[in-house]
Structure 1
């Protein structure tokens, strides 16, 4: 694997580990605040402050002017993230972290395959193939094995 591909792969692997850490830390917030929604709000407020600081330090401001021309659905990413974080804070203590993550990955793969197949939201089209379906089935079988364990 060349360095152009290796760095993003390692970064995504690292980010996946952070997602696993996010759920139990948000569970702590949810328990203390007695609300999964409050935990998600705090999580997003801290995340927003962090991203604002990084953006300000980066000095890159040229892209902000063109945001107004985007379609409405381009603004929905935060909604999806907020829903996931609140659901994870609620579900993790009830079904366990491993089940939460494997179910979440299964949902991501199913949605990603559909988005790729449709070429939705400006993505390049990647048709559903027997190998892709086989990979998704293996992930779903992994969910079953994790849940039974």
Structure 2
């Protein structure tokens, strides 16, 4: 069962550079990375909106929503910033270098978030995680200069 989750994670990772390439092509049409970001996020919104309607997903009660911490609602904004930043960076750095840097940032922050248990998942930093993170940085250098 866990192997399916690993495969899904790899597929999700593979989707991001494809999305970046498609958004790069769209930016050549719109001539504006902000407008491309708008369309990308809006189409994503419509996709999930129709999925929710078609599959009859249940929404939490209004009380439950208002009781949640304010900062959890920043996730959508962070997603938009992420998409917009990728749209901006890909034409300047290329897809491979952009995503090697993105993965570096993701690993570094993920290790710290886990170590300190910031979002409820506590996994201490280990020598293996430090070595793995350093190898990723070497990979970024290889992607850029190799």
TM-score by length of 1: 0.91
Aligned partners of 1:91 and 1:118: how far apart in 2?
Answer: 30
CA deviation string 1:95-134 (max 9, x = no partner): 111001111000000010111011112x221111111111
Aligned partners of 2:59 and 2:36: how far apart in 1?
Answer: 33
Aligned partners of 2:41 and 2:7: how far apart in 1?
Answer: 24
Gaps of 5+ in 1: none
Alignment partner, residue 110 of structure 2: 112
Aligned partners of 2:52 and 2:102: how far apart in 1?
Answer: 29
- More displaced stretch, 60-69 vs 139-148: 60-69
Displacement of 1:60 after TM fit?
2.2
Alignment partner, residue 29 of structure 2: 32
Alignment partner, residue 3 of structure 2: 6
Alignment partner, residue 21 of structure 1: 18
Alignment partner, residue 44 of structure 2: 47
Aligned partners of 2:142 and 2:115: how far apart in 1?
Answer: 28
Displacement of 1:35 after TM fit?
1.5
Alignment partner, residue 91 of structure 1: 89
* Number of equivalent positions: 145
SS in 2 for 1:76: helix
- Displaced runs of 4+ in structure 1, greater than 4 A? none
Aligned partners of 2:34 and 2:103: how far apart in 1?
Answer: 22
Alignment partner, residue 60 of structure 1: 57
CA deviation string 1:43-62 (max 9, x = no partner): 00000000011111222214
TM-score by length of 2: 0.93
Alignment partner, residue 131 of structure 1: 128
